[in-house]
């Protein structure tokens, strides 16, 4: 976890310094401060330069960010908590032709008139809600 990869004291003229490496930008610098770690990286000004940062990529939306956590809880891009779980390939849906055959329209109409909602018809017929809805809408005109 220690970011200071090479902290061995080096001789810099007559002064001893410590070498620090920024985990964010990779900047290496020498400080003569005797005590304490530098607050921020002199180059990128990151205050988490000494944290074990890593670039994290969301497998859902592709967003990349730098995190100091071992496993960030959420993707800042799409806010999913399952950012490290690849999106499982969608089950291949049988794509119905855009043009719904007249028998089906009739069936939807029948179902609609029995009092079923577009959602129920969609479940019943296996058609997408959008399709059913548009047909239902056209019936109401």
**75 binding Zn ion? (CB under 5 A):** yes
State the nearest-atom distance from the C-beta of 54 to Zn ion, in Å.
Answer: 14
State the nearest-atom distance from the C-beta of 21 to Zn ion, in Å.
Answer: 9
3 state DSSP class of 57: strand
Comparison of 49 and 112: residue with beta carbon closer to Zn ion: 49
On the CB side of 116, how many CA atoms lie within 13 Å of its CA? 19
Structure tokens at 89: 């390939």
State the nearest-atom distance from the C-beta of 58 to Zn ion, in Å.
Answer: 3
**44 binding Zn ion? (CB under 5 A):** yes
Q: Which of 22, 56, 111, 135 binds Zn ion (CB under 5 A)?
A: 22
**N-term to C-term CA, the chain:** 67
Cβ neighbours, 10 Å, residue 3: 17
State the nearest-atom distance from the C-beta of 79 to Zn ion, in Å.
Answer: 7
Structure tokens at 91: 């089950």
**107 binding Zn ion? (CB under 5 A):** no
Q: How far is CA 84 from the centre of its chain?
A: 8
Interface contacts to Zn ion, rule CB under 5 A: 22, 24-25, 27, 41, 43-44, 49, 58, 60-61, 63, 75, 77-78
């Amino acid at each position: 976890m220690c970011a200071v990869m090479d902290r061995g004291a080096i001789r810099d003229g007559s002064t001893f310094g410590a070498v620090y490496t920024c985990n964010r930008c990779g900047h290496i610098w020498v400080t003569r401060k005797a005590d304490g770690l530098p607050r921020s990286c002199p180059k990128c000004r990151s205050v988490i330069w000494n944290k074990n940062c890593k670039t994290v990529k969301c497998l859902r939306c592709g967003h990349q960010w730098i995190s100091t956590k071992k496993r960030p809880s959420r993707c800042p891009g799409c806010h999913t908590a399952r950012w490290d779980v690849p999106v499982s390939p969608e089950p291949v849906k049988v794509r119905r032709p855009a043009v719904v055959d007249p028998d089906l329209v009739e069936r939807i109409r029948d179902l609609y008139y029995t009092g079923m909602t577009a959602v129920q018809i969609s479940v019943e017929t296996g058609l997408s809600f959008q399709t059913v809805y548009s047909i239902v809408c056209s019936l109401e005109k």
